[in-house]
Chains A and B, each alone.
Chain A
């Protein structure tokens, strides 16, 4: 307990950054994921192609490499400089978005085609059909796998520790610098993550009951 209380500054700073990383990456990943998922079912061949290339390229690249690129490669491109934190958020978002896109695409496939046809028949265009009729139902169908992706994102935030972002995964290293027992510190960090995942699971349960749609 003393390891936690004596180094509360480290723990709060670490988990604060973890939550920031997670929160912004999750939002951007879901937005990008929905757009890319939609592109992959779009009637426009070019949109489908771009979506497919993006998903296959980024999903098949290890997260560490993607973060490497944004932390080390990006600054050399001569574009506006960004902090490591922002770089980590961009990398995590782009990476996680591929998983979200695939999850949403599988959700779209569970929505009967008649739903989209009825939407088109009353005069909704492609974007409206997708956003008002198909995606809301697709999302409801993929709440559990969607949250699995988000939980994976939460844990993936620790990879950012390797790129100078002081988040929860970096707490242990900082603790050993202060001469604290490594094992105890690790356990506290693990407990912190378990708590955060539990919160996500509660949120998942909430959406599952709220959006239970009888067919």
Chain B
């Protein structure tokens, strides 16, 4: 846990707007995430969830509004931006492990190149992280030799190795075979218990109920609802959310 006080805002989006050509993909987004909070983002495909995630570490730029991490506005480009990105861990739907590097090297690359940690220390820390997510034995292998569930846990370890202040997950289990979903969710639940600030795009209601402090429902580029998980799942206010949940449950 950090020495900082819980309850202060860590991630803040104010009046954020973004267009893809004529598509208004993010419409006046306001979202505050407190230190230690776990926020699940849910919503139909194409509603802008991935885009929202990607703007938070500036993989996508925004047209309007401000985004701050720990009180600092996102720098435009260059070194400072790279440094800020290191504060924001990101886990992708398709894992995106570096295909030409061993599992261990995947995890140590950032600490060595960005944080200038020495190799031995980085490897020691990386091994501890890989053990923590249950893939220590795979360290010398290449990503393609691992199952999807194992790869995604390595991706989580790789992000954690940068000691981020907040972790973003964009549908981390959507590309996984059903039998591997839980091994990844278990790691994420543990991470939430350990106090990590997390923004998680997922349709896994089990995870949302177990680990989330809030559920944010997005539709057509807007935040339509922002509520506690139990409240949202049992008593959604908007018709869009009711509609969405009924489809989700019928699966």
Contact = CB atoms under 8 A, between A and B. Distances in A.
Nearest to B85: A123
A132 B114 contact: no
B233 interface: no
* Interface residues of A, dominant DSSP: helix
Interface string A192-214: 00000000000000000001011
B247 interface: no
Interface string A160-200: 00000000000000000000000000000000000000000
B113 A124 contact: yes
Contacts of A132: 109, 113
Contact of B86 (A122, A137, A213): A122
A125 B82 contact: yes
A129 B113 CA distance: 10
Interface in A119-139: 119-125, 128, 132-133, 136-137
Contact of A137 (B83, B99, B162): B99
Contacts of A118: 90, 92, 96-98, 155, 158
Given A123-B82, A132-B109, A214-B145, A114 B94 contact: yes
A128 B144 CA distance: 23
Contacts of A215: 99, 144
Contact of A121 (B90, B99, B113, B142): B90
Given A117-B92, A122-B110, 17 more contacts: A115-B98, A115-B99, A118-B155, A120-B85, A122-B109, A122-B114, A123-B85, A123-B86, A124-B109, A124-B113, A125-B78, A125-B82, A128-B113, A137-B100, A211-B100, A213-B144, A214-B145
